[in-house]
Amino acid sequence: MILRAHMDKLRSLIIKSSASLSDTDALEAVELFAVWASDTDYAVGDRVSYDGTLYKCLTAHTSQSTWTPDASPSLWVRVDDPSIEWPEWIQPVGSTDAYPLGAKVSHNGKHWISDVDGNVWEPGVAMWHEATE
C-alpha cells in the first residue's frame, strides 16, 4: 500500500512537470499528457493527447463530445516537431492550423514552400512553389 501511494505521488509529479516541457520535448513523451476528454475544463496552453497526437489548447473552454482536437481548430492546434525541415503536408481544417508564408512541407514526393500566409491549399494545386534545392 505504501509503495502504491509513493508511485501515485511520483506519477503526479511527473505529470505536473510535463507542463514545463518545450513542445519539442513534449513530442517525445506524448504519453505523459492526459488523453483529451469531454466535459473537461481546458486552459490556454494546456496540452493533451488525442489519437496519439499532441494538441495545444488555443482558447479556454469546457470540452464537449463534438469538440475533439482534430475537429475544433478554433480551440486546438496540433503540435508538430519543429526539427523536421520538410514535414508531411496535412490538410488544414481552419485558419489556426493554416500554413504561414514560407512554410516548408513534403507532399507527393516533392518539397514545397508556401507563397502566402494562411495557406490551406494543397501543394501542387495553388499557393505553393516547388523547392529546387
CATH number assigned to the domain with residue range 1-82, chosen from the 4 options 3.40.109.10, 3.40.50.620, 2.10.10.20, 1.10.10.10: 2.10.10.20
Identify the three-state secondary structure at position 18: helix
pTM of the model: 0.75
State the pLDDT at residue 54.
94
pLDDT in tens, 78-122: 898 888 899 999 998 878 788 999 999 999 999 999 999 999 999
Domain boundaries, the chain: 1-82, 84-133
Identify the three-state secondary structure at position 108: coil
- 74 pLDDT more than 90: no
Any idea of the CA torsion for 73, 78, 80, 82, to the nearest 10 degrees? 50
